[in-house]
């Protein structure tokens, strides 16, 4: 059996406060296989982003990893020095956060933003940078001629796709997506997620997909972990989480999703929405 790409073991993360500390992530363990889309679901404040930042090892004071291991391709990230981490970040572990579209530099053309990232990590030439930028735009469904445009000339959904394209340009093995489409309307959200599914099928990267939207997640992921106040209360294949949730909190999450009366009648006991099937085609 192939070793998982990411292994999180017994992770405990605290926020150090003026008076004592607060345990935001409590003994969390999960793994993500190569080419797998893994979802981390749970209500706001349950610790999802804290885990995402811990994996990227981006400084987030006053967060402190008290215990545990985060192994990426066999290497414990918690024991790596900053120089080694910088080589891994973006190059092998990409990140797309909720407001990522705002991270584009408004003063630079898209081509230049691709070039800056690619040059820093791969030392590519201008011509190679442009060719890669055009290819990536094509991949995320944006006309490659628009590499010369500025961010404000794109819609919010397109800007978020541009950030995903820049992230994918480095061909990372793992992409962490923390609420990547929450700021967008439902149609654009589904379009982008469909594109990520298609790209994942073609390029084979792994995804850690973080959202409070369990319904959306169930259409997109291979396996799901459900978090409640810092702990994973249940994890398993998407079919199990949707059709036979074991934990009362997972059932309550399903029950919180509004449904049409007819669909609710068909579903019977699980509480999962009728269309919450594992499908890599969201439409």
Ligand X SMILES: Nc1ncnc2c1ncn2[C@@H]1O[C@H](COP(=O)(O)OP(=O)(O)OP(=O)(O)O)[C@@H](O)[C@H]1O
Q: Which residues here bind ligand X, judged by CB under 6 A?
A: 15, 22, 24, 42, 44-50, 62, 212
Q: Tokens in use for 30? A: 């999960």
**Which neighbouring-strand residues pair with 174?**
93, 206
Which residue, 151 or 180, is less far from ligand X as judged by CB?
Answer: 180
Which residue, 159 or 212, is less far from ligand X as judged by CB?
Answer: 212
Which residue, 129 or 230, is less far from ligand X as judged by CB?
Answer: 230
How far apart are the C-alpha atoms of 5 and 45, rounded to whole Å?
26
Question: Minimum distance between the CB of residue 261 and ligand X, rounded to whole angstroms?
Answer: 30
Which residue, 23 or 80, is less far from ligand X as judged by CB?
Answer: 23
How far apart are the C-alpha atoms of 224 and 218, rounded to whole Å?
8
The CA-atom distances, in angstroms, between 247 and each of 71, 235, 250 are 28, 10, 5
Question: Minimum distance between the CB of residue 54 and ligand X, rounded to whole angstroms?
Answer: 9
Question: Minimum distance between the CB of residue 49 and ligand X, rounded to whole angstroms?
Answer: 3
Question: Minimum distance between the CB of residue 233 and ligand X, rounded to whole angstroms?
Answer: 13
Question: Minimum distance between the CB of residue 16 and ligand X, rounded to whole angstroms?
Answer: 8
Which residue, 44 or 281, is less far from ligand X as judged by CB?
Answer: 44
């Amino acid at each position: 059996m192939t070793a998982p790409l990411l292994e999180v073991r017994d992770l405990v993360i605290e926020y150090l406060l003026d008076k004592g500390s607060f345990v935001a992530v409590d003994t969390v363990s999960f793994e993500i296989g190569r080419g797998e889309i893994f979802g981390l679901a749970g209500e706001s404040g349950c610790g999802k982003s804290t885990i995402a930042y811990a994996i990227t090892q981006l400084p987030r004071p006053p967060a402190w990893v008290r215990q545990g291991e985060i192994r990426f391709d066999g290497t414990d990230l918690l024991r790596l020095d900053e120089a080694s981490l910088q080589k891994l970040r973006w190059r092998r572990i990409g990140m797309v956060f909720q407001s990522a579209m705002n991270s584009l530099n408004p003063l630079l053309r898209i081509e230049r933003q691709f070039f800056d990232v690619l040059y820093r990590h791969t030392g590519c030439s201008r011509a190679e940078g442009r060719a890669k930028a055009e290819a990536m735009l094509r991949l995320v469904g944006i006309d490659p001629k628009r590499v010369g445009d500025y961010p404000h000339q794109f819609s919010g959904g397109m800007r978020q796709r541009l950030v995903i394209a820049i992230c994918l340009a480095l061909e990372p093995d793992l992409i962490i997506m923390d609420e990547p489409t929450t700021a967008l309307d439902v149609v654009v959200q589904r379009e982008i997620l469909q594109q990520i599914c298609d790209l994942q099928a073609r390029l084979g990267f792994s995804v850690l997909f973080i959202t409070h939207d369990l319904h959306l997640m169930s259409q997109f992921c291979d396996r799901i972990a459900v978090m409640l106040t810092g702990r994973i209360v249940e994890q398993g294949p998407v079919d199990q989480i949707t059709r036979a949730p074991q934990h009362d909190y997972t059932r309550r999450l399903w029950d919180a999703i509004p449904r049409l009366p007819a669909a609710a009648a068909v579903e019977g006991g699980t509480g999962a929405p009728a269309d919450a099937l594992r499908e890599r085609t969201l439409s």
